Chains A and B, each alone.
Chain A
Amino acid sequence: MNSRTAGRTDGPLDRPSTAIRVENVSKTFDTAAVLHDLSLDVRAGELIGLLGPSGSGKTTLLRIIAGLDAPDRGRILFGDDDATGLAVQERAVGFVFQHYALFKHMSVADNIAYGLNARRRADRPVKAEIKRRVGDLLDLIRLSGFGDRYPSQLSGGQRQRVALARALAVEPRVLLLDEPFGALDAQVRKDLRRWLREIHDRTGQTTIFVTHDQDEALELSDRVAVLDRGRLEQVGTPDEVQEHPASATVMKFLGDSVEVEAIAEGGRVLVRGRETPVVAPAGTIGPVKLYVRPWQLQLAEPESAHLSGTVRSSYRTQGRQRIEVVDAEGRVLAVEDFDGVRYAAGHPVGLRINGGHVFG
């Protein structure tokens, strides 16, 4: 079963079942607006990444869903129920903080059991049941035998796994992760990412996570929601947002790109009078900005090129060759994946544009 489609069950009701609906939410802190009239549907069972630069409001949105912050306007729906007025305790969400927020004076097992033990006596599982569940979760986070340790005796990655188990123990309606890997080093981050995806595939837990790391969002998510300055720029699968970015902001945020002056004319996009394979949005005419990814540029003979400049440097990284070309205006254009010829610095080259995006 392809896990990436697991959440999208367009059933007989002709709409995917929505686990969480954010409806026209606005939030202002002091005088600074953090969220502007933002709406977002999260489908049951999906893993959705809220991606945006710092200050884009993604963490605030997550906290509003959790009930840790209240929106100024708008509603939060869990399924068909309005949860806007519900207190944090009543929302049954699992929240994982960037800096773990484990209870330092409790053992790992007690941390995981906390949510169950905190329940009213009538709703609390019996001791043996709690113990069994803690054991299962320790297995799930691959920390069996660590139950008696204290958080201070664990590494950062292990602590974050405990925090995740603690959140899962209460069987939350939705799992909310705030920059869950932000405090970890690169290798641990990668492992945890893969592991989180596995856990999600196994449990089918509706999950929203916040990140400012494009790679993380694109690798992990069923769908990515790109936020910028409190507005939702685009929601879509990783492929959709990469292949059809909705705006220049999304384009720029998802990776390196070069801005090229171009002319749109009858659906075609011309750079220095030469046609490119890029299609302009309907109705766009006149001077436009064309955004090109490094791998959409190719070294070419000057007579067939759209751009020209001189080689500044070239280097290899992870099996790819990357060449930096400086054009007449002093701009640096990055080119990737070329045929392997090495150019000395200062060598004049032409560049052909093989793709790109123009936004209306």
Chain B
Amino acid sequence: MVETPRPKTSLLRTFRRPSVIPGFGISFGYTLTCLGLIVLLPLAGLVAKASGLGLSGIWEVATDPRVASALRISFGVSALAALVASAFGFLVAWVLTRYRFPGRKLVDAAVDLPFALPTAVAGIALASLYAPDGLLGAPLARLGIQVAYTPVGIFIAMVFIGLPFAVRTVQPLIAEIDKEIEEASATLGATRLVTLTKVVLPPLIPAVLTGFALAFARGVGEYGSIIFIAGNLPYVSEIAPLLIVIKLSEFDYGGAAAIATIMLGISFLTLLAINLIQAWSRRRFGYV
């Protein structure tokens, strides 16, 4: 018997590279089990429930005008809000890391508050603030701008909850920027603007993208803070998660699962795309 069971060994080899860190087998198994139980199993259940409707059934739900408009609002406004949160969050992170000013630590701590606040509380606070007779809503109303009970309100709520993600993902990288890199750029004759756009910002792009992806995902999935400020008018300011809750209260479990599955699909594709862009930019910028 000289036959070599090669394929088997080589497959094992690829998984078990010699390493000084022990316990690959057990930690890998543990990770897979947890991921499976906590993340994949509920999602699989969701898809299974939705598949009860069949592909044509799901398609029917997706093309329902009310569902389609809710999905458009959810994803469209989330993307816009994530964009603004990224830009604004970048600015906040920049100011917090690059400058020293009294109260810096307090502001830094305040950034995390949207994480900690119950979303309903945030929603009610935003709604009363932006209501036509609210503190900010009243002057805006005089200018003819209505925030509460419109998509603009959804947008503001999403920026609010997305901001911490955008700040916290870029902050450590801004803190790591090497002063000598900027000095080198200056000695080579580059103006501050060129230094900023050519030297300082490009390495931060992957982190900004991560922040964008997180803020976007959070915005798509957000429910509590939005429903209070959105007004929830079908075709105007109704978000997809709310529609799911409505379907559930109507005992249309299949329809709810179908919307959820569609959201899952779009979210997955979007996040995958962002991750691919990120991987590409990392490779390009020579980072690990």
Contact = CB atoms under 8 A, between A and B. Distances in A.
26 contacts: A67-B187, A68-B186, A68-B187, A88-B183, A91-B187, A95-B187, A97-B180, A99-B180, A101-B181, A101-B184, A102-B184, A103-B181, A104-B286, A105-B202, A105-B285, A114-B185, A114-B188, A114-B198, A118-B188, A118-B194, A119-B189, A151-B286, A153-B286, A163-B184, A167-B187, A170-B188
Contacts, number: 76
A89 B287 contact: no
Contacts of B178: 101
B105 interface: no
Given A88-B187, A118-B185, A151-B286, A104 B203 contact: yes
A38 B190 CA distance: 30
A155 to B, nearest CB: 15
B180 A166 contact: no
A115 B189 contact: yes
Interface in A76-123: 87-89, 91-95, 97, 99, 101-105, 114-115, 118-119
Contacts of B202: 105
B284 interface: yes
Contacts of B186: 68, 87-89
B209 to A, nearest CB: 14
A152 B286 contact: yes
Interface in B160-207: 178, 180-181, 183-191, 194, 198-199, 202-203
A11 B258 CA distance: 90
A295 interface: no
B188 A166 contact: yes
Contacts of A42: none
A97 B199 CA distance: 16
The interface size bin for chain A is 20 to 34
Contacts of A67: 187
Nearest to A123: B189
Given A89-B191, A118-B189, A95 B184 contact: yes
A104 B190 CA distance: 17
A358 interface: no
A359 to B, nearest CB: 39
Contacts of A93: 187
Contacts of A115: 188-190
A281 B188 CA distance: 48
Which 8 interchain pairs have the tightest Cβ spacing?
A150-B286, A115-B188, A105-B285, A118-B190, A101-B180, A95-B187, A101-B184, A88-B186
A92 B189 contact: yes
Interface of A: 66-68, 87-89, 91-95, 97, 99, 101-105, 114-115, 118-119, 150-153, 163, 166-167, 169-170
Interface residues of B, number: 22
Contact of A94 (B185, B187, B288): B187
Given A89-B189, A115-B190, A170-B189, 16 more contacts: A68-B186, A88-B186, A89-B186, A94-B187, A97-B183, A101-B183, A103-B181, A103-B185, A103-B199, A105-B203, A105-B284, A105-B286, A118-B188, A118-B191, A167-B187, A169-B188
A181 to B, nearest CB: 16
Contacts of B183: 68, 88, 95, 97, 101
A317 to B, nearest CB: 37
A245 B286 CA distance: 49
B195 to A, nearest CB: 8
Interface string B244-288: 000000000000000000000000000000000000000011111
Contacts of B285: 104-105
Nearest to A178: B180
A114 B190 contact: yes
Contacts of A104: 203, 285-287
Contacts of A169: 188
- Residue in A101, A115, A119, A166 with the greatest tally of chain B CB atoms within 10 Å: A101
Nearest to A105: B285
Contacts of A150: 286
A109 to B, nearest CB: 13
Contacts of B191: 89, 118
